[in-house]
Amino acid sequence: MYAFERYLDVHDFRSSRAYNAGSNGGGLAKIDDRWLRVHGFVLDSIEEVYPACYHNLATGGLLIEQQWRPQNEMEPYPLGGTIMEAFNHTLVADIGRPVIASDILERGMKVDWAVVDQDPACLTSEQKQRRSWMLVDIKRTTFGRRLIRTKAGLIGLGPGFAEVGDLVCVLSGGHVLYVLRKKKQCSRYEFVGECYVHGMMDGEALNSSTPQQEFVIA
């Protein structure tokens, strides 16, 4: 499973960061004995999970991703637009190539199903290239992950082993969101993995009045 993109130029770590979900500055974290202590807050919790994607393009195509498609494509998305629009951005984590085979990435990108679902025999050479790169971008983003839906009705991509009840968290200094799982019979948390939630990757959650807390991650 690939990590979510960190920079918009895949060869230059000094280029613009792809996301800024947590903060502009560095986070305060420390390792205490066997545990990592980091500050942040719970943004939401996972209410629904969809089948995880562990097939590559050769063995499964977009079979799993097609199962994720919203049944009611015109359902309003809580942060604006429709659920289908949010879904199309989520499948590539809102990042893609503005030009075929480019190493410079842009935000605001989404899946174009008119190209992806089309029979390649009906496409021009340029459209075939665009379709191929879009398929690669989708699978690079979804492999090892599953679609999630939160209690607030937001959708995103979480680790393939994310479960209902897991917490979507903002961690201080983090540039993406994170899924944590509360351990039973103690106050510590298990780190499940990175998370993309559509509409919450550019610091929107920082306007929340939810109080900060310390997470002890074992």
Closest CA to 150 of 57, 71, 44, 21: 44
pLDDT confidence of residue 173: 86
pLDDT, greater one: 212 or 156: 156
186 within 8 A of 166, measured Cβ to Cβ: no
pLDDT confidence of residue 177: 97
pLDDT confidence of residue 35: 87
Whether pLDDT at 54 is above 80: yes
Model confidence pLDDT, tens digit, residues 194-208: 999 999 999 999 888
Q: What is the mean pLDDT of the chain?
A: 91
Distance CA 211, CA 180 (A): 17
Banded pLDDT at 30 (limits 50, 70, 90):
confident
Whether pLDDT at 103 is above 90: no
Whether pLDDT at 190 is above 90: yes
Compute the average pLDDT of residues 70-90: 98
pLDDT confidence of residue 63: 94
Closest CA to 161 of 148, 177, 173: 148
Whether pLDDT at 15 is above 90: no
Model confidence pLDDT, tens digit, residues 114-139: 889 999 899 899 889 989 989 999 99
Distance CA 148, CA 155 (A): 6
What is the pTM assigned to this prediction?
0.92
